[in-house]
Amino acid sequence: MNVLRLLFYFRGRINRAKFWLASAIQLMFVIASEELIVYYEFPALSVGGVLFLNIDQFMLFPLVLPLIILSAIGNRLELTYFRGYELARDIGIGTVNRVDIEFLVINLACLLPLVVSLTAVGIKRLHDRDKSGWWLFPMYFVPVVFYVAPVMTMVAGWAVLIWPVVEFGFLRGTRGSNRYGPDPLASDR
């Protein structure tokens, strides 16, 4: 399976190993896009375009990898909302800043492929568990809404995120073929 098919194709099934591989690739994209956003928004904080990352957030790397990716999307959505509001306000008073428009374009250009990739990988992993892709809605979007909401609900959002980590990363898919395709473990050999 090539990387583009793994990250952006919505049909079929993937096993846990491919889920973790896709998550690692998505994390690299999140880090690169976060660096681009930080460099563009706060050039004084970055050193040659690279912000020094806080290593403590990666201490339990395998367990928190999906959590980091989803919280980055929550942060990005929140930032897009506030910057879009500022841009709309500036348009209303006639003081549009070109940097605000460029920032929103870069932010959305980084956010869109990540959301599509998370959706495709999640659907294929749910298919491996013989579940419909519609289960992604409560698994991905409810925690992001909690995360963007006020502080007390952020804790609930992190608690709800444990479910997708267990479902995608630790539970085995159905053995043999199911309604979504052949067993990915059987086809890997």
b/e map 75-99, b = 16+ CB within 10 Å: bbbebeeebeeebeeeeeeeeeeee
Q: Is the model's pLDDT at 22 over the cut of 90?
A: yes
- pTM beyond cutoff 0.75: yes
What average pLDDT does range 155-178 have in this prediction? 83
Q: Give the phi and the psi of residue 149 in degrees, each rounded to 5.
A: -70, 180
Give 54-66 pLDDT, tens digit per residue.
444 444 455 556 6
The DSSP string of 124-141 is: HHHHHTT--GGGHIIIII
Return d(Cα 167, Cα 71) in angstroms, integer: 18
Give 121-130 pLDDT, tens digit per residue.
999 999 999 9
Confidence of residue 11 (pLDDT cuts 50, 70, 90): very high
Confidence of residue 89 (pLDDT cuts 50, 70, 90): confident
Q: Percent of the chain at pLDDT above 90?
A: 31
**Per-range mean pLDDT, top range of 69-78, 96-105, 108-117:** 108-117
Whole-number pLDDT of residue 140:
75
Confidence of residue 67 (pLDDT cuts 50, 70, 90): low
